[in-house]
C-alpha cells in the first residue's frame, strides 16, 4: 500500500493580509480552516470584495468534509457565503462566530440551507481521520479559538489569530495549559499567526485602554464620539461601562455597530446597562455633555457613518465645535489617505480628534507581538513550524524567531505562500506541488457576480455593457460644480438612441452634487463613490444593464 501523507494547502492569507483560508488533507479527506475575504486595492475599480479562488476545493469537492472557523473577523469568515454557494459544507464555530456568519448568509438568502454547528472551547469533534479540539485564545474579538487537529501522523496546532492577554476584560483566560499539554505529548506541526512579529515585547492587554478612555471621559465636556471596530466587544463593553459611570447616554450609529451589538447582547456577551441607550435621532436634542456616540467607520470608508458625519451629511446629527472624536482603532496600512482626509474634515468642524499611538493607548492590537509568538513556540515545541497570516517579510521574521528551538526538537521551518503546499509523512516534511489559487473579485457583493480574473471580468464587462464616464469640474475654492457634468459613454448606448438617457444621467449626477455638502464636494473619494452609486442605480433601473462607471473629477 502507498503510504498516505498529510498535506497543508494554503488557499489564502500567506504572503498577504486577508483572505485567510487553509485546507488540510489526509488521503481522501479534506477539512477547510477559515474562509476569509479582503477589501480591494484602489486599482480594482468596481470591485467590492476579494475572496480566495476555491478551484482546488471544487475540483476535490467529493473529499471536502467541513469548514472550521477560528473566529468572526471578516478576513476569516467573509468568504463563507461564496464557499458555501459552491460546496454546502457543514460549518463548525463558536456561537458568536456563527451568529456573525448567519448575518452574512442571511444577506445572500442562504441561511435556510446552511449546516451550522455550534462548538465551544474544550469540545472535540471527529471528521474523517481528523479529531479537532477547540482551544480558547484571546484576541480582539470574542470567542476566538485555536485548533488542535489530531491526524494519523500527529498533532497539528493552528493558532488562528491570537495575543496572550493575561488580564482579559471578560476574565476568560487564554488556555495556555491545554497548548502546553499538547506540547509535552508532542506536536508534529505548528501553524502560527505572524501579523505582529515586527513588534518587540508583548502586546498590551485590552485593559490597557481603560486609563486613556477614563481620561477622555473625564475631560470631555461636550458630545463624545468613539469609533471602533464593531466586532471589538471588549472595547464596546468598556465604553458602555464608562458612559454609565459618567452619566452619559449611548447612541449606536452605523449598520454594523447596531447589528453586532445586538448579536453580542443576545448571546450574553455584552452587558448593556438599563436605560443607557439613546436613539440616534435624539442625539441633537440631548444635553451635549450627556451623550456618547458609538459609531462605525474607523478606516475612513467613503459611505461609512463616521465619514458621513465628518462631511456633515448624516441624517441624525452633526459635529459641533468642542465635540471630541476618538478613533479607538489602528490605521490599517493603505488606508492612511482616507482616514486622514476624514480627520481633516472633523477638525474643520471644530472637533478635538484623538487618534494614533499614545501612552496610555487608545487602542491595543489583538495580535501577539514577538514575545507572545516566542511563548507560543516554547509551549508547543513543534517538530515542524510554518508561520501563517502575513506578508512574506512577517513570515520570514517569524521563521527566524523559531530558530532557538533547534536544540529542542524543531527539525525544520517552512515559509509557505498561498498555493505552496507542505507534505508530511513518516519520512519527514517537505514542500509539495503547487495548487491553483488566486483572487476572485466580487462586484455588488452578490454570489452571482463572481468573476475569477479581473482582466477577463473587465473585458467581458466592457464588451457586454460598455462604460460610462461622468466628468465633473469642481471649483477648488467654492466647491461648486462648473456647469453641468459631461457624460462620455462607449459600448453602452448609441449616440442617437441614448441622448435622452445620457441627458437624464447628467441630471442624476448634477442632483447628487447639489445634494452634497461643500465638504463632500471637496472630498474626491466620497464624491466618486456617491456618483457611482447613484448613477449605477439609475442606469440599472432604466436599462437593466451594468456599465463600468468611472467618475472623473477635475479640480479647477
pLDDT at 455: 52
Query: What confidence category does residue 338 fall into, taking pLDDT thresholds of 50, 70 and 90?
Result: confident
Catalytic entry in 73, 139, 234, 367: 367
Whether 193 sits among the annotated catalytic residues: the reply is yes
pLDDT at 331: 79
Query: What confidence category does residue 159 fall into, taking pLDDT thresholds of 50, 70 and 90?
Result: very high
Q: What is the mean pLDDT of residues 21-39?
A: 95
Q: How far apart are CA 264 and CA 242, in angstroms?
A: 18
Percent of all residues in the chain with a pLDDT value above 70, rounded to a whole number: 92
pLDDT at 483: 75
Cα 188–189–192 angle (5° rounding)? Answer: 150
Is 19 in contact with 439 (CB distance < 8 Å)? yes
Is 166 in contact with 178 (CB distance < 8 Å)? no
The whole model's pTM is what? 0.83
From residue 135, give the alpha-carbon distance in Å to each of 100, 159, 180, 289, 467: 20, 9, 11, 43, 51
Q: How far apart are CA 387 and CA 15, in angstroms?
A: 10
- To 10 degrees, the CA torsion angle through 391, 300, 40, 110? 110
Burial readout 146-156 (b: 16 or more C-beta within 10 A, e: otherwise): bbbbbbebbbb
Is the per-residue pLDDT at 327 higher than 90? yes
Residues 6+ away with beta carbon under 8 Å from 151: 6, 24, 26, 129, 130, 188
356-389 pLDDT tens trace: 877 778 999 999 999 999 999 999 999 999 999 9
Catalytic entry in 75, 165, 193, 372: 193
Percent of all residues in the chain with a pLDDT value above 90, rounded to a whole number: 66
Whether 500 sits among the annotated catalytic residues: the reply is no
Q: Which residues pair with 126 in a beta bridge?
A: 131
Q: Mean pLDDT over all residues of the chain? A: 89
Number of Cβ atoms within 10 Å of the Cβ of 421:
18
252-286 pLDDT tens trace: 999 999 999 999 999 999 999 999 999 999 999 99
Q: What is the mean pLDDT of residues 527-550?
A: 86
Q: What is the mean pLDDT of residues 493-520?
A: 80
pLDDT at 299: 86
Burial readout 340-376 (b: 16 or more C-beta within 10 A, e: otherwise): ebbbebbeebebbbbbeeeeebbbbbbbbbbebbbbb
| DSSP one-letter string for 153-176 | TEEEEE--S-B--SS-TT-----H
Q: How far apart are CA 521 and CA 210, in angstroms?
A: 38
Q: What Rg value do the Cα atoms of the chain yield, rounded?
A: 25
Domains belonging to the chain, first-starting first, are: 6-201+365-441 (3.60.15.10), 206-354 (3.40.50.10710), 455-555 (3.10.20.580)
Query: What confidence category does residue 293 fall into, taking pLDDT thresholds of 50, 70 and 90?
Result: very high
Is the per-residue pLDDT at 150 higher than 60? yes
**How many helices and strands (H and E) does the chain possess?**
16, 28
Is the per-residue pLDDT at 438 higher than 80? yes
Q: What is the mean pLDDT of residues 315-322?
A: 93
Q: What is the mean pLDDT of residues 458-476?
A: 73
Closest listed residue to residue 37, CA positions, set 87, 86, 104, 88: 104
Query: What confidence category does residue 41 fall into, taking pLDDT thresholds of 50, 70 and 90?
Result: low
pLDDT at 459: 54
Supply φ then ψ for residue 40, to 5 degrees.
-75, 155
Q: Is 131 helix (H, G, I), strand (E, B) or coil?
A: strand
Cα 276–278–284 angle (5° rounding)? Answer: 135
Residues 6+ away with beta carbon under 8 Å from 531: 470, 472, 509, 512, 513, 549, 551
Q: Is 406 helix (H, G, I), strand (E, B) or coil?
A: helix
pLDDT at 72: 96
182-201 pLDDT tens trace: 999 999 999 999 999 999 99
Is the per-residue pLDDT at 78 higher than 90? yes
* Sign, CA torsion 151/92/166/372: positive
pLDDT at 453: 52
Is 68 in contact with 147 (CB distance < 8 Å)? yes
Amino acid at each position: 500500500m502507498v503510504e498516505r501523507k498529510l498535506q497543508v494547502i494554503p488557499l489564502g492569507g500567506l504572503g498577504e493580509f486577508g483572505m485567510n483560508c487553509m485546507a488540510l488533507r489526509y488521503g481522501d479527506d479534506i477539512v477547510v480552516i477559515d474562509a476569509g475575504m479582503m477589501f480591494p486595492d484602489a486599482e480594482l475599480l468596481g470591485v467590492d470584495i476579494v475572496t480566495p479562488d476555491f478551484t482546488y476545493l471544487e475540483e476535490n469537492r467529493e473529499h471536502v468534509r467541513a469548514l472550521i472557523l477560528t473566529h468572526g473577523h471578516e478576513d476569516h469568515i467573509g468568504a463563507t457565503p461564496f464557499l458555501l454557494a459552491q460546496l454546502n459544507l457543514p460549518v463548525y464555530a463558536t456561537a458568536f462566530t456563527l451568529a456573525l456568519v448567519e448575518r452574512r448568509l442571511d444577506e445572500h438568502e442562504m441561511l435556510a440551507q446552511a449546516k451550522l454547528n455550534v462548538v465551544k472551547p474544550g469540545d472535540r469533534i471527529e471528521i474523517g481521520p481528523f479529531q479537532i479540539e477547540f482551544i480558547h485564545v484571546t484576541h480582539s474579538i470574542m470567542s476566538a479559538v485555536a485548533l488542535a487537529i489530531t491526524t494519523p501522523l500527529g498533532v497539528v496546532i493552528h493558532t488562528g489569530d491570537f495575543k496572550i492577554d493575561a488580564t482579559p476584560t471578560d476574565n476568560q483566560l487564554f488556555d495556555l495549559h491545554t497548548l502546553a499539554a499538547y506540547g509535552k505529548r508532542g506536536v508534529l506541526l505548528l501553524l502560527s499567526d505572524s501579523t505582529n512579529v515586527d513588534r518587540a515585547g508583548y502586546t498590551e492587554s485590552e485593559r490597557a485602554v481603560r486609563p486613556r478612555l477614563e481620561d477622555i471621559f473625564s475631560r470631555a465636556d461636550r458630545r463624545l464620539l468613539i469609533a471602533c471596530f464593531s466586532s471589538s466587544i471588549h472595547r464596546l463593553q468598556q465604553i458602555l461601562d464608562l458612559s454609565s459611570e459618567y452619566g452619559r447616554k449611548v447612541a449606536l450609529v452605523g449598520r454594523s455597530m447596531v447589528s453586532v451589538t445586538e448579536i453580542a447582547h443576545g448571546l450574553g456577551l455584552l452587558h448593556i446597562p438599563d436605560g443607557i441607550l439613546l436613539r440616534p435621532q435624539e442625539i441633537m436634542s440631548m444635553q451635549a455633555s450627556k451623550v456618547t456616540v458609538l459609531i462605525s467607520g474607523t478606516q475612513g470608508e467613503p459611505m461609512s457613518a463616521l465619514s458621513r458625519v465628518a462631511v456633515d451629511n448624516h441624517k441624525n446629527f452633526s459635529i459641533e465645535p468642542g465635540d471630541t472624536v476618538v478613533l479607538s482603532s489602528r490605521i490599517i496600512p493603505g488606508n492612511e489617505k482616507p482616514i486622514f482626509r476624514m480627520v481633516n474634515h472633523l477638525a474643520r468642524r471644530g472637533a478635538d480628534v484623538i487618534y494614533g499611538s499614545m501612552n496610555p493607548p487608545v487602542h491595543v492590537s489583538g495580535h501577539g507581538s514577538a514575545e507572545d509568538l516566542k511563548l507560543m513556540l516554547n509551549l508547543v515545541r513543534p517538530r515542524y513550524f510554518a508561520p501563517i497570516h502575513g506578508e512574506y517579510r512577517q513570515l520570514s521574521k517569524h521563521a527566524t524567531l523559531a530558530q532557538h528551538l533547534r536544540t529542542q526538537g524543531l527539525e525544520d521551518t517552512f515559509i509557505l505562500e498561498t498555493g505552496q503546499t507542505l507534505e508530511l509523512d513518516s519520512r519527514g516534511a517537505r514542500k509539495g506541488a503547487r495548487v491553483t489559487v488566486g483572487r476572485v473579485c466580487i462586484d455588488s457583493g452578490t454570489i452571482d457576480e463572481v468573476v475569477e480574473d479581473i482582466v477577463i471580468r473587465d473585458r467581458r464587462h466592457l464588451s457586454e455593457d460598455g462604460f460610462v464616464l461622468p466628468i465633473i469640474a469642481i471649483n477648488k475654492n467654492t466647491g461648486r460644480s462648473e456647469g453641468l457634468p459631461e457624460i462620455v459613454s462607449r459600448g453602452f448606448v448609441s449616440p442617437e438612441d441614448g441622448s435622452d438617457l445620457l441627458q437624464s444621467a447628467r441630471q442624476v449626477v448634477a442632483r447628487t452634487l447639489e445634494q452634497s455638502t461643500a465638504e463632500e464636494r471637496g472630498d474626491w473619494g466620497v464624491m466618486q463613490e456617491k456618483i457611482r452609486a447613484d448613477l449605477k442605480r439609475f442606469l440599472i433601473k432604466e436599462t437593466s444593464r451594468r456599465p463600468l462607471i468611472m467618475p472623473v473629477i477635475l479640480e479647477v
